[in-house]
A = this chain, B = another copy of it.
């Protein structure tokens, strides 16, 4: 059983992989927790059986949906989202040896920019690194690194301060993807927060098609929290519609909607069970 995630190591996606599969160790070696260089590579590994799960970012409260993740899922009908987690994009400050007086703060330029107030309050100069994880990994004596929380355990560092960002953290939602169909909505503690992501593939570019497809939701009182349109590379003028639906859907519900959409001229494919980001981020 192995999990691949959008790398490199020490990123928020790495942190999400550990959160979604707590049975895996943070410093797990080959075969357990493997960084991939792209969403497409991670999904291809699951498709081929080289990995059991892939962990990928799918939505962010500031930047919106993560299109390469959605496009990768659209291209691979054998895969689906089976779980998800929302993480605050929050930075901690680390040192290798808390007994040494710090003289510089190191991070990626984005990390330094987001934590300016905390850095300036300490009157320390800054140095740019190629990533927040690289800053923490390569930390020298008297250097403070700013990065995701996972860097602390991953690189065996001491936390100087937590959540040092200037503004309230943004949130990113990460999806756990595996081979097989979308699991049935079942009763359970999270059932009230269920959601469903559905891809609609139109047979042809017909005026008013989207309007009619949405009628299926209206007839059933289903609430849609996001709608994403993506071009189909091989067929100019045809767009796939990705509907983020909130609520709990049985296999029968999905089958009935699928039949109605087919009748209107679009093939529907459930891509996964995923709760809307806005609602999850608002929870305590």
Residue of A113, A221, A229 with highest tally of chain B CB at under 10 A: A229
Q: How far is the CA of A279 from the CA of B67 in the complex (A)?
A: 19
Contact with B along A124-144 (1 / 0, CB 8 A): 000011110010000000000
* Interface residues as binary, A56-93 with B (CB distance below 8 Å gives 1, 0 otherwise): 00000011111110010000000000000000000000
Q: Mark A35-71, 1 if CB is under 8 A from B, else 0.
A: 0010000000000000000000000001111111001
Instruction: Give the contacts of A248-284 with B (CB-CB under 8 A).
Output: 278, 282
Number of copies: 2
Check B64 against A230 for contact (C-beta < 8 Å): yes
A: contact size bracket: 35 or more
Please choose the segment from A157-165, A173-181, A183-191, A205-213 that sits at the chain B interface, where 4 or more of its residues have CB less than 8 A away: A205-213
**Most chain B CB atoms below 10 A, which of A67, A130, A214:** A130
Partner of A130 from the list B68, B130, B282 (CB cut-off 8 Å) is B130
- A282 CA to B37 CA in the complex, in Å? 27
What residues on B are CB-neighbors of A223 within 8 Å?
207
- State whether B227 touches A227 (Cβ < 8 A): yes
Q: Does A226 contact B (CB under 8 A)?
A: yes
CA distance A62 to B66 in the complex (A): 10
Q: Given the complex of chains A and B, what is the CA–CA distance between A64 and B229 in angstroms? A: 9
In the complex, what residue of chain B is closest to A206 when comparing beta carbons?
A: B218
Dominant secondary structure at the A interface: mixed
**Alpha-carbon distance A134/B230, docked complex (angstroms):** 34
Q: Within the assembled complex, what's the spacing in Å between the Cα atoms of A65 and B227?
A: 13
A123 in contact (CB, < 8 A)? no
Does the CB pair A214–B221 fall under 8 Å? Answer: no
**A109 located at the interface, meaning its Cβ lies under 8 Å from any Cβ of chain B in the complex:** yes
- Chain B residues near A239 (CB-CB < 8 A): 225-226
Once the chains are docked, how many angstroms separate the CA of A254 from the CA of B14?
47
Residues of B within 8 A of A64 (CB): 64-65, 67, 228, 230
Within the complex, the shortest CB–CB distance from A59 to chain B, in Å, comes to 10
Query: Chain A residues in contact with chain B, CB under 8 A?
Result: 8, 37, 62-68, 71, 108-109, 113, 128-131, 134, 207-208, 210-211, 214-215, 218, 221, 223-231, 236, 239, 278, 282
- Chosen A-B contacts, 23 in total, with CB atoms closer than 8 Å, are A37-B113, A62-B67, A63-B66, A63-B67, A63-B68, A64-B64, A64-B228, A64-B230, A109-B131, A128-B130, A128-B134, A129-B130, A130-B130, A207-B218, A207-B221, A208-B218, A210-B224, A211-B218, A214-B214, A226-B229, A227-B227, A227-B229, A236-B282
